[in-house]
Copies of this chain bind each other. A is one copy, B any other.
Amino acid sequence: MMDKLYPWKEINGGISAPLGFYACGVKAGIKYKDKYDLALILSETPASAAGTFTRNVVKAHPLVLTEKHLADGKAQAVIVNSGNANACMGEIGDNAASEMAKVTAEELALAPEDILVSSTGVIGQELPLAKVIAGIRTAAKEVQALKGKVSESEKTEYAHQAASAIMTTDMVCKELALELQCAQGTIKLGIMAKGSGMIHPNMGTMLCFITTDAQVAQDKLKGLLKAATDESFNMVTVDGDTSTNDMVVILANGLSGVAPEGQEWENFSAMVREACCTMAKAIARDGEGASKFLEVKVAGAASLEAARMIARSVCSSNLVKSAMYGEDANWGRILAAAGYSGASFDPNKADIYLNGLQVAAHGQGLPFSETEASVLLKNTDIKVDVVLGDGKEQAVAWGCDLTHKYIDINADYRT
C-alpha cells in the first residue's frame, strides 16, 4: 500500500508495534456472543496524548470524559467497546463511562484520569455495564500478561484482536504499523481504525487510535493530530451524517528515545498523516452498501480551504454518488456540486476529468465518447479530477457511491 519513495516502511505488530505498547481484544458479549467487542491499549509508561472529537453538539458520554482526561495532555491506556455507543443516556451514560475508566485504572494500577474511554454502537440504549466490567478485568489481565512476551507474531495477533474488537459493521479490519529510521534510532507507529464508507446502524462512527514510541511534546502532538485529521478523516465524506461518537486519539510514550526534529520531524509528521489517510481511504472503501470507491481531487484552488470544501461537496453529493453508481459520466452534477460547496471559484476555468477522461473544459462540456466513459466508469475505483484555474492549492476527498443497498441497510436497522 505504501509507496517506496516514502522514508518509512510497513512492519508487523499493528497498534502494539511501537515499543512499550500492548493491546488486546476480548469477547465481552455486549451485543453479540462470539465477537471481539472490547479493546484495551496500554502503554508501559505515561504517554503524551491528544485527541480530536466529533463536531456534533450531541456528544456521547465517553467523549466528554475522555476530553476531560486529556486536559493534562497525558494518558496511559485506552479502553474501547463496540456494540453500544453509550450516547444520549443522561446520568446513566456518564456513570457508565466513568465506571469503565475506574475499573480499567484499578486493574492496571493507574489513575482513572490516565484512562481514555471510547464507545461505538447503537445510541440511546443502556450499556450492559456488568458485562463490560467483566470484559475489562479479563482484558487487563491479558494485556499485562503480554508485558513479558517478545514474540512479534503473538503481539501482532493480539493487536489484531484489538482492531477487530472495535469493528461494528466494518467488512475489513483496519490496522497498520510503520517504522521510520532516524539518526538516533527507530520510531514506530501503530494505528487502528473503524468506520465504513456507508453509514450504518451505529451511526457510522469513526474511531481511530494511534500509538507511537516517538518523544513528542503534547502541544506538538496536538497540532500534528489536528493537521492529520483535517487531511484524512475530515475528507471522508459519506453523507454528511456526523456521529456522536467520532474520536481520534494519539499516544506518544517516547520509549524509542528519539525526539524527531527538523527533517526528521517532517518525516514523522508525514508518516502520521499518511497512516491516517490510509485508514481514511479504507473507511471510504469499506461500505456494505457501496459498490464503488470515489476519490475526488481538486487542484488549482485559490486556498486549501476552498479545495477541501469543493472536494467534500462533490464527493458527498447524492446526485454525483447516484450517477457514479449508474456509471453515468454526468459532469454537470459535478460542476453544480462544486458550485454549491460554499467556496468561491471561477466555474469558467474549471476542467473535469473522470478516470482520466476529460469531460469538461472551462466549465463547459466537451464532446467525449460515451462508450469510452462508460467503460472507464465500470471500474470500482472512480477518480474525479476537478482542475480549477484559481491558484495552486489542492485537496483530496474520499467517498463511495449511493446504492440500492444503502437504502436497504438504513431503512430499517434499529427494529
Contacts and interface: CB of A to CB of B under 8 A. Distances in A.
Contact of A244 (B242, B336, B360, B364): B336
Contacts of A331: 124
Given A203-B319, A318-B240, A347-B57, A330 B407 contact: no
A214 to B, nearest CB: 33
Nearest to A93: B364
A410 interface: yes
Nearest to A320: B241
Contacts of A56: 336, 339-340
A59 to B, nearest CB: 8
Interface string A239-256: 111111000000000000
Contact of A323 (B88, B339, B411): B411
A318 B241 contact: yes
B203 A336 contact: yes
A362 interface: yes
A410 B319 contact: yes
Contacts of A410: 318-319, 322-323, 326, 402
Interface range on chain A: under 10, 10 to 19, 20 to 34, or 35 or more? 35 or more
A333 interface: yes
A240 B241 CA distance: 13
B90 A348 contact: yes
A330 B58 CA distance: 15
A343 B57 CA distance: 8
Contacts of A365: 88, 124-125
A323 B57 contact: no
Contact of A332 (B90, B123, B239, B317): B123
Interface in A367-415: 370, 374, 402-404, 406-407, 410-415
A85 to B, nearest CB: 8
Contact of A319 (B241, B317, B343, B403): B241
Given A370-B415, A411-B325, A57 B339 contact: yes
Contacts of A203: 319, 332-333, 336
